[in-house]
Structure 1
Amino acid sequence: MTHQSTPLKTKETLLVTAVALGILLNPLNTTMISVALVRLQEEFHLTFADVTWLISTYYLVSAIGQPLLGKWSDLFGCKKVFMIGLLLVTVSSALAPLSPSFGWLIGFRIIQAFGSSALFPAGMGIIRNRITAHQAKALVIISIFSSTSAAFGPSLGGLLLHYGDWPLIFLCNFPFIIASFLLAWRLFPSDPKPSPGGKARMDWGGVALFSAAIFVWLLFFLELAEGFSPWLLVLSAALSLVLYRYELDRSEPFINVGFLKKNMNVTLIYAQYILTNMAFYSIMFGVPSYLQQAQGMDPQKTGLVMLSIAGFSVLVTPIVGRWIERSGSRPSLIVGTASVVAGSMLMLIIRDQTSVVVIFLVLCVLGIANGFNNLGMQTALYDFVSKEETGIASGLFMTSRFIGTILSSSLLAALFGQTITTGNMHSMAWVCAALGLVMFVLTLRLPRAA
């Protein structure tokens, strides 16, 4: 099956760029802070456990905020939610460098996480409503910005720390914010008037239960590094069951569990995306620490080596977009998940004295896998979601991403908690290979393109 390849119109390209510049703020700020943790320990006189709350709270707020703000996009208008999100990121990025204490810094990070969580679901709603033909091309641009900005985060953060200090990690958001705001203000269509009773139709009970369940699951996974907590597991499972039963009886639920129950393709896509991000973030956070502590690389050299993942993700994404437009998402995901298995197994050849070139080439395979999987997962989701459900579906999609990230943190804490050795890194590689194999099996059940 082939399609005539037609480029996006100039106005459509600028509209997609406005969305993409906003969307990158969340994943970029997720990983960019990681290289500043040691510096922040010194600044605020903290332990490493204390400073990691900057990461954990960002994950938690993003996991809850994505579906919540996706629902608000559906109810109150995508443009309005997108612009408010940019405003919140602006305020937090301006005030965070002035934080008088660590508690204030966490507060500004929470505002930043909530604001940036609005940009993906609202932005995807704009694209799906305004670009009716060649959406795969639009998603290529989105994927390049969203999936690779997380990979570029550690390298950019290291560069900013080298030439300045940790406040630059917040201030560097402003070029992206300004460009996205100006383009969105000019190009986004006006929102339709909210339907009567929109606020009343918001399922606040579902929001509260979902937030509680996500929070307790986060505590459970973070506690795994210290030991298994049966009561947290029981409480997490109980809250999840209560949430399921409550939402199943709602006419307009916050989490449409009835839809997920009926459409197992969407549910399994979310599950696969959790596994994808668990493997990706384990590598993104684990490998730099390994390179510095076990291989003795300095931060600048480590950042350059890690660019292999981001660089190859960018290189393959346009190719993947054209392939998906012709053949659907399934072939792309088959290659992507197989590449996760291959790249993870290749990590086993890395030893204490392995050359930088070999390490770089191994990580290139994982960069290729990232490019195939991210765009493939996005397009696969929208094959099974109506335009009216784009906001909440996009929000849950990104919540799946953060659940995967939380799981990767638990894995790394368990493997690297005491010491970081080549043996620990090989154990991580085996886990990632197993995750890739499960992802490959889940991909095979996707329907073939007609």
Structure 2
Amino acid sequence: MRVFKFGGASVKDAAGVKNLTEIVRQQVNKDILIVVSAMGKTTNALELVISDYLNNSADLKRDLEVVRTYHQTIISELFEDKTHSVYTQFERDYKALLEFLEINTSGDYDFVYDQIIGFGELFSTRIVSAFLEASGLDNTWLDVRQYIKTNASYRRAAVDWQVTKRLVTPLSVNGHILVTQGFLGSNANGFTTTLGREGSDYSAAILAGCLQAESVTIWKDVPGVLNADPRYFEGAQLLNALSYNEAIELAFYGASVIHPKTLQPLQNNTIPLYVKSFLNPEQEGTKIAADLKMEPEVPCFILKQNQILISLSTLDFSYIVEENISDIFKILHLFKMKVDLIQNSAISFSVCIDDMYNNIEDVIQHLSVKFKVEYIKNVTLFTVRHYTADAISSVEQGKSILLKQRNQHTLQIVTK
């Protein structure tokens, strides 16, 4: 079985769904599991709905209607027959969303987020599955929440691998096309959980690992893995090949083309990953597998914006040792901070973090009990893998450097 993952940009409109269908059609007589994200910017639109709902905003009805109309438009452009079952199926799913908003009694943001946000994937996969069927490609729609089981850590759930593998493995004998959602799972109580933003790639890898798939292909709006984000760096180059280890390094430092957790289940099961363009599916893209050398061997640039640089020192000017560092990381973990850079000396400790859950004020309050704390918001973190003198110069030019460190292969610079 091959696993194909299509992101939101690939199914943002009716033309995208038709293009997906043609890509799948080229895989005749092959078993395929298709993992699909929410369409276009639906996740962002549903995040607005969540905010409206929890804040009792008068805009809730309007923002819900935006989501509904967007999907109805795509459906109407794909299915001329207004009696097609996809119309009533979408209305049932949309009604389920409204019912949750009516009966929910929890004010916990993370819980509410996961129960609402997953409707984007449910909408998209219903539409994709129905259009594949109408185009002569028989398929089975699956609710991934019945297969990927997790703990109850909403918005960043951990997979229960033992249960998940037991549930997913029988799918390998299905014998035709399967369509399911990315990003989602469910916990032991049956509530929807999510695997973290951009977690659809991870979903594809989880399913592939459990199925011992032949390969995973992630279809993007770029030709493959690039050595830099072309939105911020000129002259970005396609990387034709990468090893798992190199790809994991790039993902760890924030390369947005691959979700950081995606590669582990693939490496553990020696499943190659292809990153290809849905705009030009005939192109080779990037292959990621064991023992591949990076081709071409060029510096790789990664940029992370809206970071926070925290600098700590002890109140009594004592050394920052293991006990202090343990206390610091307990607090960072408690408030779900993503640590992207660490630097310490005898009496100081600096950390560059990504405050994904807007908990910085709580973090500072807790750290201030034992440390003198200084912090700067909205800094930018540049990471350069396989740096050269020219690469360093190009990143540093014209910037105010707040922190810099390097090892044999990687340079990191925090700038304001």
Same fold (TM over 0.5): no
Pick the structure with greater CA Rg: 2
Normalising by structure 1, we get a TM-score of 0.26
Which one has the bigger helix percentage?
Answer: 1
Normalising by structure 2, we get a TM-score of 0.28
